[in-house]
Amino acid sequence: MEMNPLDKYQNMIPHFTHVVHRVCLPSWQLTNPAMEKFNFMLIYDGEASLVCNGKKYAVSKGQLLFFKPRDTRFARTSSTDTMKCYAVDFTYTCPFFDGEKWAFEMPKLPFDTVEYIRDPVLLTRLINLFDELTRIWLLGSNKKVIRARSVFSEILFLLLEWKNSSKELNYDKIRKAEKVLQYMGTHYHEKLTLKHLADQVSISAPYLSSIFREVIGKPPIEKLIEIRINRAKELLLDGFTLSDVITQVGYNDVFYFCRSFKNVEGISPKQWLKSQKE
């Protein structure tokens, strides 16, 4: 099975060294000849001029700046339209278990120095998340690191999904697809039709199919079957009979369930359960 490009970031553990909500004065300048950490800077208002590694940029609202260790950077805000932004300095590692021991890697983050977030819904969501991140950091509670990592993870994966998309992915589509996905996760045992799922986000069934393929990578009903089969496997391992499992995951026909199971797993429920006990 082909690996999802985002899978390598799933276990990321970030470490923060500086988190700030910056409202620049007209005299503000950034003179940091050598970055020591990674840095995100999200501009939500105003303008600035930037030089990174000798290359000049004019930056403004809706742009995300990304700096790597050893990047040299100089910046100055506009004297008439001062910059407002959020910034976070961080480093990270991605632990993984190789079958015998834990190992660590640092997969490269795929961002350019200046990224333009043109999707207004995505930009609004990112601004809200960066604002939440800075407030968590400012409060300095004993839970701030855990909470900050949670918010930062959502920021990162929104950006990675957007960056990994073959075309600019509308965040409104992501929200609709994820809402339907969450609904499936709660109601998978019920009789669900494509129209019923589409009604949960007030769109047409064909449009739901379209955005689901774009965001999730497969049609809604195919994903629903996958959820049901995953739940069925858990129940089979817990000792439930096949007839009980079928009822609990939304099927009323043993033949149809077994065919769906084989389509997902490649073998029958009986063969799969036997393979788990060997």
Report pLDDT digits (tens) over 204-214.
999 999 999 88
DSSP structural state of residue 69: T
Confidence of residue 71 (pLDDT cuts 50, 70, 90): very high
Three-state secondary structure call for residue 60: strand
Question: What is the average pLDDT score of the chain?
Answer: 90
Relative to beta strand 63-67, strand 114-116 is: antiparallel
**How would you label 87-105 residue by residue, b for 16+ Cβ within 10 Å and e otherwise?**
bbbbebeeeeeeeeeeeee
pLDDT in tens, 235-265: 999 899 999 999 999 998 899 999 999 999 9
Lowest mean pLDDT segment, chosen from 16-25, 141-150, 153-162, 243-252: 141-150
pLDDT in tens, 80-100: 999 999 999 999 999 888 888
d(CA 275, CA 269): 10
Contact yes or no for 197/154 (Cβ under 8 A) = no
Q: Where do the CATH 2.60.120.280 domains begin and end in the chain?
A: 8-164
Question: What's the CATH fold of domain 172-278?
Answer: Arc Repressor Mutant, subunit A (1.10.10)
Structure token digits, residue 217:
């990578």
Confidence of residue 202 (pLDDT cuts 50, 70, 90): very high
- Name the CATH code of domain 8-164 (choices 3.30.450.40, 2.60.120.280, 3.40.50.300, 2.40.110.20): 2.60.120.280
Contact yes or no for 267/240 (Cβ under 8 A) = no
Sign of the alpha-carbon torsion through 167, 218, 176, 147: negative
Environment class of residue 176 by beta-carbon count within 10 Å: exposed (0-12), middle (13-18) or buried (19+)?
buried
Of all helices (H) and strands (E), which one includes residue 114? strand 114-116
